[in-house]
Amino acid sequence: MHNVYLYNTLSREKELLHTHKNHVVSMYCCGPTVYNYAHIGNLRTYIFEDIVHRVLQVAGYRVQHIVNITDVGHLTSDGDDGEDKVISAARNSGLSVSEIASMFTEAFLADCRDLNIIPADNYPRATEYIAEIIQFIVELEKRGYTYIANGNLYFDTTKDQTYGSMRGYRDGDTSYARVEIDSSKKHPNDFVLWFTQSKFVDHAMHWSSPWGEGYPGWHIECSAITYATLGDTFDIHCGGIDHISIHHTNEMAQNHGRCGHIGASYWMHGEFLILDKDQKMSKSSNNFLTLSKLTADGFSPLVYRYFVLQSHYRKPLTFHYEALTAAKQALSRMRVRCKSLLSCECMESERTQEWITRGMQAVCDDFNTPEILAMVWQVLKSSELVDAEKRTIVMHFEQILALDLFVQEQECTIEENVDNGWIDERVKERNQARINKDFNQADRIRQELLSQGIILVDTADGTIWRRED
C-alpha cells in the first residue's frame, strides 16, 4: 500500500489520503449533461479522473467509482434562468428527450472506451433518482433550508454559515457574476431545488412532488445520488474547475444542510483545456472539438490521451494541432521501442524496484503524469538496464498510462474496392441500431467497418465516414 497525496481544493493544500474504509476509496465524478457530444476539454477531465482511479488501484486500493449522467435539470445558463439543455436539444433535433439522452450517453461511453478510461461501477441517471431527489429536498425543508417563491422551491444560502468556503480558490474569481439574478430569490446566491410548471409550462419531463408537478434543479441531483450510492460521507469528489464557484459550492451547501457536513473529504478539480487565443472550450458557445473530429483528422484517441498526460491536471493546457502532431510522433516512437521488448520475459531486480519505487512516489504525489512519461523515456533509452528490466518497469507504469504500449496492433486490411453503397447501408443500419438503443449492435457495425479500414465520425449533423489513410 502506497501513501497517496492529493490536492484538496477545499484546503488549497496537498493532503495525505485517509479513506473512510480500509483499502477502499469511494469516488464520485460529475458526469456529462447528455445534450451534445463531449468535447475534448470535457474529456481531459475524465482522463484526469481515470488517472486518479488507476493510481489508486496500483497503490493498493479498491476504488468504488460513480459517474452520474445528467439527463434533466441542467439549464442553458449557470443560474436558474434559461432552458433545460437536454429538452432544448431534443426539440431542435426532432428527437425525443429519451432518444437524445440515450444517443449522447452512448457516444460519451464510446469516447471513454476509446480513451482507455476504466468504466465506473455505476452511471446513475438523474431521471432514475427522482424519488431520492425529492426525499433529499424534503429533509432540507424539515431543517429549514428552503423557501417557496413564485411556485419554485429555493435553497436559502443564508442559513448555511459555511456557504462559499471553496469559492476562494482563485482571487478575483468573477465566474459567478455571469449568472443573471432571479428576482424571486431572497439572496443572489440562492438557487432552485425544484421547479414547478409555473417555470416552464411545456417542460417535457415532470414529476409529482410535495411542491407541485415539476422537475429538479441541477445541483440537487449530485447530492441525492452520492447520498444514495455512497452514503452521507465518502472520500473523493472530482470535477472540472468550472464546477467550483457554483455547482460544487451549491452541492456542498445541500450536503451540509441535510447531513451536517459537506459529503466528500477531498474535492479535486481539473483545469481547462484552452484553445488558441486563450479561449476555453465550450459547447454553449459552439467553440469546441470532439474526439471524432480528431480521429477524422488522423489522430487516434490515445494520441490525445498522450497529449493530455504530458501536462499536470491542475495546469491549463493549450490545444493546437502542432502539439497534437508532436504527441502522435512521440507515442509512435514510444510504442516502437516498447514492442521491441515483447520477445523478452519480465525480470525483477534491484534496479527495477528502484525505478518502480521512484515512479510510484512521483505519481502518488498528486498524480504527476508528466514525470511518469519522462521516466518511461529514460528507461527505454537507458544503456544500463537490460531489455527484460525495461519491459518490467514500463509495464508497471503502463497500468497507469494506459497507452497500449505493448498491444500488438491487428493488421487492418484497407479494402479500396469496398463498395461505397455497402458502407452507406451499414452506416444507416448503425444509425437505426442507435435509435433502437441497441448499442451493442451499433458497436459491432462500427468495429466491422473499422476492420475494413473505414472510420466513422459522429457529428452533430450525422455520421460521416472516411477511408483510413
* pLDDT one-digit tens code per residue, 46-74: 999 999 999 999 999 999 999 999 998 65
Can you give the pLDDT at residue 457?
A: 76
Give the residue carrying C-alpha cell 494506459: 402
Can you give the pLDDT at residue 98?
A: 83
Can you give the pLDDT at residue 199?
A: 55
145 or 433, greater pLDDT: 145
Confidence band for 45, pLDDT divided at 50, 70 and 90: very high
Task: List Cα–Cα distances, 236 to 6, 85, 95, 147, 361, in angstroms.
Answer: 10, 27, 36, 31, 20
Q: What is the mean pLDDT of residues 318-326?
A: 95
Per residue in 158-178, pLDDT tens? 999 989 988 763 333 434 434
* Phi (first) and psi of residue 98, to 5 degrees: -65, -40
Per residue in 241-262, pLDDT tens? 999 999 999 999 999 999 999 9
Q: Is the pLDDT of residue 190 over 80?
A: yes
Q: Which of the given ranges, 8-12, 69-73, 414-418, has the highest pLDDT on average?
A: 8-12
What is the C-alpha separation between 182 and 192, in angstroms, rounded?
Answer: 10
Query: Binding site membership: which residues?
Result: 30, 222, 247, 251, 283
The secondary structure of 334-395, three-state, reads: HHHHHHCCCCCCCCCCHHHHHHHHHHHHHHCECCCHHHHHHHHHHHHHCCCCCHHHHHHHHH
Task: List Cα–Cα distances, 433 to 220, 405, 427, 440, in angstroms.
Answer: 33, 33, 10, 8
Q: Is the pLDDT of residue 305 over 90?
A: yes
Whole-number average pLDDT of the chain: 88
Confidence band for 454, pLDDT divided at 50, 70 and 90: confident
- Percent of the chain surpassing pLDDT 70: 87
Q: Is the pLDDT of residue 101 over 80?
A: yes
What is the C-alpha separation between 228 and 232, in angstroms, rounded?
Answer: 8
Helix residue ranges per DSSP H, 387-419: 387-401
Confidence band for 410, pLDDT divided at 50, 70 and 90: very low
CA angle 108, 224, 266 (to 5 degrees): 75
Can you give the pLDDT at residue 443?
A: 79
Can you give the pLDDT at residue 409?
A: 55
Can you give the pLDDT at residue 424?
A: 83
Confidence band for 18, pLDDT divided at 50, 70 and 90: very high
* Phi (first) and psi of residue 456, to 5 degrees: -95, 140
424 or 360, greater pLDDT: 360
285 or 448, greater pLDDT: 448
What is the C-alpha separation between 248 and 321, in angstroms, rounded?
Answer: 33
Contact by Cβ (8 Å): 1, 24: no
Q: Is the pLDDT of residue 135 over 80?
A: yes
Can you give the pLDDT at residue 283?
A: 62
Helix axis angle, 321-339 relative to 369-381, nearest 10°? 40
Q: Is the pLDDT of residue 1 over 80?
A: yes
Helix residue ranges per DSSP H, 143-186: none
* Grid coordinates given for 65: 467509482
Can you give the pLDDT at residue 388?
A: 96
Can you give the pLDDT at residue 414?
A: 43
Per residue in 265-279, pLDDT tens? 999 999 999 987 666
83 or 308, greater pLDDT: 308
Query: Binding site membership for Zn(2+): which residues?
Result: 30, 222, 247, 251
Can you give the pLDDT at residue 203?
A: 64
Can you give the pLDDT at residue 413?
A: 43
Query: Binding site membership for ATP: which residues?
Result: 283
34 or 433, greater pLDDT: 34
What is the C-alpha separation between 262 and 9, in angstroms, rounded?
Answer: 13
* Grid coordinates given for 155: 435553497
Strand runs (DSSP E) across 197-313, as ranges? 214-216, 234-240, 264-270, 273-275, 279-280
Task: List Cα–Cα distances, 299 to 47, 62, 219, 321, in angstroms.
Answer: 17, 33, 36, 10
Can you give the pLDDT at residue 277?
A: 64
Residue-by-residue DSSP string for 20-32 = SBTTEEEEEE---
Single-letter code of the amino acid located at 256: H
